[in-house]
Structure 1
Amino acid sequence: MTTFRTTTPLSRLLPPLVLGGAGFSYQIISNPSSTQALQVLKRAFELGLRAIDTSSYYHPSEVLLGEALSHPDIASNYTRDQYILMTKVGRITATQFDYSPAWVRQSVTRSLERLRTCYLDVVFCHDVEFVPEDEVLEAVGALFEMVGQGHIKYVGISGYRIDVLAHIARRVQEIYSRPLDIVQNWAQLTLQNDRLAREGLEAFREAGVSCVCSSSPLAIGLLRSNGVPVGDLGDFHPAPQGLRRAAKEAADYVAARGESLATLALRYSIIRAQSISDADFRVTTIMGITSIAELEDNLGTARQVLPMSDEPRWLWTADAGPSVELSQRKFEEDEMLFKSVQKILGPWKDYSFPSPGNGWDVARKRPAETRL
């Protein structure tokens, strides 16, 4: 078994864009299928998008991705070192968590089997604010051990609460005398909520983290014209009705000016990520994608603000680096629309979703009303 020596910071390897695997789950769509996953993945790889983020919680995403990656259309054209696989441990269902070292090891082993791979590039502890901090730290330690065993290359944590993520990142550095490699935060580097840039990134830098993933640039589908996505698990979106109405008003306003709110919001998130990134600290954007049409639309948007070349390699490596000049020029073109949307959002600008909320008992890792 190979022992990974993660001397190369992840900021030098992770590309500016990542394909989100939640688009192959029941949370997002009603009928995730192996055909859908293969079609999207094959086209994504052709276009140069070869970094994938998923979770064991996004059922059946890992299974579908594993089937697609092992299909001859992909396996015969791309070697394992030509794409990056990231997944998560700890969250099992909407109300069930297990951060014990035994479960972490079991979950990683299961992910390796589902994804049909001999190693994972990144494993995150999933939604860390839902469990006691000491359990997260113990789980991180188990993942560090698995790096030494050759199962994982890099270790990170994910969640919504920026203060919790920053505090855990500092404690990891203190306890293990090495930093986390990466932190993932969702829906807080967006046109609606930009708190990650102002409240989190410097704290992560200080804790030695070299890479941050900004996921849900559309705030789980809030920032689009057709409302939040509803899959087989129902409407799980945390946005209150007032915010939903404001987002719909903003979408109508942007549409009346010949633009799509989803496209505008994605440009904003990518531009912000690029403006913050440098050679030693990368902020990368995870895009939730469910179809080839959505994939091509999103990459078309990305090409407006990322450096381009005829070789699709620019999308799946960090070689190109941030293009501040290109991003700044596009930001200036969009600035009036950005400000107009944020004005329409009004008091909902920078509103943060409660996570985990008053209905959750962190100490007991279950809904607060549950009694045994």
Structure 2
Amino acid sequence: MASEITPIVMGGAAWSHQLNHDAETRPVIPVILNAFDHGIRTIDTSPYYEPSEKILGKALADPQISSLYKREDYFLMTKVGRIASEEFNYSPSWIRESVERSLQRFRTGYLDVVFCHDVEFISDAGVVEAVRTLWEFVEQGKIRYVGISGYPIDKLVRVARLCKEKLGRPLDIVQNWGQLTLQNTKLRTEGLRQLGEAGVKMVCSSSPLNIGLLRAQGVPIGRLGDWHPAPSDLRLAVSKAADLVAEKGDDLASLALRFAVRETARKEKGLPAMALIMGPGSVAEVESCAAAAKSVRDQNTQGKFGDLRDDTVLDKEGVQSDEPLVQGVREILGRWIDFSFESPPKGWDVEAGKMGKVE
């Protein structure tokens, strides 16, 4: 599987109302074509990112794309379980309905990966049973690989261990967000080895900008308003860091992307392979992501494809060049280094899958 997922993945949240008011009117076909041309041939989305699956599925079936790329030329990842901000359904019946709906939306006979989405919001036992249901689709040939996604690393590790113990087979893949970034590297320091010990072969790190926090213009505001979990003092520290980077003739988002690409590409013996999920919503953003990914590569190393499908061999001079600015940003962030958000929020009942009663 590690050889099938491209090192850089196109995230589908850019086509959601959570992040963008104009999700339906964004030029999705040029974005996909540009991403594929750069070698970004893996797409990750979710029904929760409404209407992302519908938009991407329609675009992939358009002759502008389908005439150039066959289904086996790209890798599709989606999710089940999360329906809305405070609505989850991990029942076997809903898991089955959700998978079949995704197959229809993408007009395909199979999905490469299906994740249980944001597993911290339900019980460990509930996740294990959902994974069991997804294995049924693997046996039917409708899903190739099964995984879980979520934020708290301890939950991901615990559930991965339980799946191996209770189901007799390890998870194929795990996705975590916002914790292999310029601000927070806990996925590497606290999770990667443990996930590998639980049998996980592939780990995807999403949101290298920490859902839009690590950029000069601040957090994104979509139809849900300002939902970003970053406290005001962290936002202020990021703003100061962005000013420092600008003074040095660089851009915080670009620096953060380069940092995340390097961290994801850094291989350690015995640890799971990694891929980085970025979320470009325009051709310009694809170009920015591709430029950041290519800028950290050793230009003297030619891979099999000559694009972002190839493993990244890091440019050591580039690493050294960025290091003073990376350290300057991290000094400004100070106490916010490795700060993790609270997920689920206080009062959430994981057994019921909803907010508990306020006493």
Letter paired with 1:89: V
The answer (yes or no) to whether the contact 1:210–1:281 under 8 Å persists in 2 is yes
Once the two structures are TM-superposed, the CA of residue 39 in structure 1 deviates from its matched residue by: 2.0
Partner of 1:206 in structure 2?
Answer: 197
Partner of 1:336 in structure 2?
Answer: 324
Runs of 4+ more than 4 Å apart: 277-280, 307-312
Answering whether residue 2 of structure 2 is matched by residue 17 of structure 1, we say no
The answer (yes or no) to whether the contact 2:26–2:281 under 8 Å persists in 1 is no
Q: For 1:39-188, what aligned pairs fall within 5 Å after superposition?
A: 39-188=30-179
Taking the aligned partners of 1:357 and 1:55, their CA distance within structure 2 comes to 21
Deviations 1:227-279 (Å, cap 9, x if unpaired)?
00011121111101110111111011101110000000011011011113669
Taking the aligned partners of 1:274 and 1:250, their CA distance within structure 2 comes to 24
Taking the aligned partners of 1:98 and 1:24, their CA distance within structure 2 comes to 22
Taking the aligned partners of 2:193 and 2:270, their CA distance within structure 1 comes to 15
SS in structure 1 of the partner of residue 176 of structure 2: strand
Partner of 2:340 in structure 1?
Answer: 352
Answering whether residue 356 of structure 2 is matched by residue 368 of structure 1, we say yes
Q: For 1:228-267, what aligned pairs fall within 5 Å after superposition?
A: 228-267=219-258
Q: TM-score if structure 1 supplies the norm length? A: 0.92
Unaligned runs of 5+ in 1: 1-9
Unaligned runs of 5+ in 2: none
Once the two structures are TM-superposed, the CA of residue 311 in structure 1 deviates from its matched residue by: 8.4
Taking the aligned partners of 1:27 and 1:312, their CA distance within structure 2 comes to 37
Aligned residues: 358
Partner of 1:305 in structure 2?
Answer: 296
Once the two structures are TM-superposed, the CA of residue 21 in structure 1 deviates from its matched residue by: 0.2
Once the two structures are TM-superposed, the CA of residue 111 in structure 1 deviates from its matched residue by: 0.6
Taking the aligned partners of 2:252 and 2:74, their CA distance within structure 1 comes to 30
Partner of 1:31 in structure 2?
Answer: 22
Q: Structure 1 residues 278 and 262, CA, compared in 2 at 3 Å: closer, same or farther?
A: farther
Taking the aligned partners of 1:225 and 1:280, their CA distance within structure 2 comes to 34
> What do you get for the CA RMSD once the two structures are aligned?
1.8
Answering whether residue 311 of structure 2 is matched by residue 321 of structure 1, we say yes
SS in structure 1 of the partner of residue 90 of structure 2: coil
The answer (yes or no) to whether the contact 1:189–1:197 under 8 Å persists in 2 is yes
Taking the aligned partners of 2:189 and 2:210, their CA distance within structure 1 comes to 17
Deviations 1:172-226 (Å, cap 9, x if unpaired)?
1111221101000000000000000000000011011110000000000000000
The answer (yes or no) to whether the contact 1:88–1:126 under 8 Å persists in 2 is yes
SS in structure 1 of the partner of residue 83 of structure 2: strand
Taking the aligned partners of 1:234 and 1:369, their CA distance within structure 2 comes to 25
Q: TM-score if structure 2 supplies the norm length? A: 0.96
Taking the aligned partners of 1:370 and 1:314, their CA distance within structure 2 comes to 56
Letter paired with 1:329: E
Letter paired with 1:99: Y
Q: Structure 1 residues 117 and 286, CA, compared in 2 at 3 Å: closer, same or farther?
A: same
Letter paired with 2:4: L
Taking the aligned partners of 1:332 and 1:275, their CA distance within structure 2 comes to 15
